């Protein structure tokens, strides 16, 4: 089994950009999950944009991010997640989408992150302008900030057809009790939370609650901001990786996340085309079953 580095050297040597159209047409369709409340389907691997797309007006960096988006869509990507909190990321995403002709398959997801209902309405309208979309597929209250006011707006917008799905997010374990209370009482389509092989607190209550309530789940921080990749880099892959079609640790980590039956989509973030291709490889092939999930946990915990 190759390491992440050797895999990426192979991809680079093959000339990834020139192979993308052929690779996309030859590869099986990406794995998808259904959004329980609406029946819409999305690929199980999406794309985050925190830090990675916050490049301002740098023309070269914007062009590079457009190539990342091009690769994402060429390999069957759908969900792109952002937030006004992420600096210029929404503007850079919109620039890339327009440069690519607003690719089919986009599932646009952003957040409202401001105190006050009126401020939230203006912020969401500005996000629509930056992305260049008539409406978002998903609008979320970011880190529960002002969630009562913003959810009132989002529920009204959904009833009017101005947004496809609504939800709330947290990336802080200390807010899990608050999130559980909101999930129990509000008609959410989505929640977004941190879930990876090291951060599994959500398995105890939030993921079962999401399954029971019919709420889709987006898993953020799948690599713990790269810490998991750094920890495993250079270590040989175990034999079970080949059984689920994984060529790198990143793919093992992603397949572990999306194999949980309550998880709808994971959103790794990257600045690189080769890493995007690697991530999207986790959206194809078999997923680990319950027995293998425990085997993966034991193997990685020992490293």
Q: Give 230-251 pLDDT, tens digit per residue.
A: 999 989 999 999 999 999 999 9
* Domain locations in the chain as residue ranges: 31-301
What confidence score (pLDDT) does residue 26 get?
A: 60
Sheet arrangement for strand 190-194: 79-81, 107-112, 136-141, 163-169, 190-194, 216-220, 265-266
Strand partners, 111: 140
The pLDDT-based confidence of 48 (bands split at 50, 70, 90) is very high
Q: Which CATH class is domain 31-301?
A: alpha beta
Statement: residue 126 has pLDDT above 70: yes
- CB under 8 Å to 196, separation ≥6 — which residues? 219, 221, 222, 223, 224, 228, 253, 256, 257
Q: What pLDDT digit, counting tens, does each position of 288-300 carry? A: 999 999 999 999 9
Structure tokens at 248: 């790198």
What confidence score (pLDDT) does residue 17 get?
A: 47
- Average pLDDT of the residues in 275-294: 97
* Residue the block writes with tokens 């909101």: 182
What confidence score (pLDDT) does residue 16 get?
A: 52
Percent of the chain with pLDDT over 90: 88
Statement: residue 24 has pLDDT above 70: no
> Is residue 48 within 8 Å of 268, Cβ to Cβ?
yes
Q: What pLDDT digit, counting tens, does each position of 129-166 carry? A: 999 999 999 999 999 999 999 999 999 999 999 999 99
Statement: residue 176 has pLDDT above 70: yes
Q: Tell me the whole-structure pTM to 2 decimals.
A: 0.92
> Is residue 73 within 8 Å of 38, Cβ to Cβ?
no
Q: Specify the 3-state DSSP secondary structure of 225.
A: coil
What confidence score (pLDDT) does residue 1 get?
A: 41
The pLDDT-based confidence of 15 (bands split at 50, 70, 90) is very low
- Average pLDDT of the residues in 55-83: 98
The pLDDT-based confidence of 218 (bands split at 50, 70, 90) is very high
Statement: residue 203 has pLDDT above 90: yes
What confidence score (pLDDT) does residue 28 get?
A: 81
Residues in the chain: 303
Q: What pLDDT digit, counting tens, does each position of 49-63 carry? A: 999 999 999 999 999
- Average pLDDT over the chain, rounded to an integer: 93
How many angstroms separate the Cα of 8 from the Cα of each of 105, 148, 250, 276, 292?
26, 45, 12, 11, 26
Statement: residue 6 has pLDDT above 70: no
Between residues 22 and 292, the one the model is more confident about: 292
What confidence score (pLDDT) does residue 23 get?
A: 52
- Average pLDDT of the residues in 195-206: 97
């Amino acid at each position: 089994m190759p390491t992440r580095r050797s895999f990426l050297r192979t991809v680079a040597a093959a000339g990834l950009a020139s192979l993308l159209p052929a690779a996309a047409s030859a590869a099986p369709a990406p794995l998808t999950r259904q959004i329980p409340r609406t029946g819409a389907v999305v690929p199980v691997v999406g794309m985050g944009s925190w830090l990675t797309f916050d490049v301002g007006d740098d023309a070269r960096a914007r062009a590079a991010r457009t190539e990342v988006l091009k690769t994402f869509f060429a390999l069957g990507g759908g969900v792109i997640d952002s937030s006004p909190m992420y600096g210029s990321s929404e503007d850079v995403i919109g620039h890339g989408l327009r440069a690519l002709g607003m690719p089919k398959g986009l599932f646009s997801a952003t957040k409202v992150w401001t105190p006050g209902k009126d401020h939230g309405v203006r912020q969401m309208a500005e996000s629509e302008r930056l992305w260049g979309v008539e409406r978002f597929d998903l609008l979320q209250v970011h880190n529960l900030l002002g969630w009562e006011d913003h959810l009132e707006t989002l529920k009204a917008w959904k009833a009017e057809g101005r947004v496809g799905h609504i939800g709330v997010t947290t990336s802080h374990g200390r807010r899990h009790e608050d999130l559980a209370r909101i999930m129990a009482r509000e008609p959410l389509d989505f929640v977004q939370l941190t879930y990876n092989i090291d951060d599994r607190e959500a398995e105890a209550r939030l993921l079962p609650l999401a399954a029971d309530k019919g709420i889709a789940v987006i898993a953020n921080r799948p690599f713990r901001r790269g810490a998991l990749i750094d920890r495993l880099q250079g270590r040989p892959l175990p034999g079970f990786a080949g059984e689920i079609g994984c060529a790198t640790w990143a793919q093992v980590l992603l397949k572990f996340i999306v194999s949980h039956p309550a998880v709808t989509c994971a959103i790794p973030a990257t600045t690189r085309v080769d890493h995007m291709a690697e991530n999207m490889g986790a959206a194809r092939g078999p997923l680990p079953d319950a027995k293998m999930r425990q085997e993966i946990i034991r193997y990685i915990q020992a490293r």
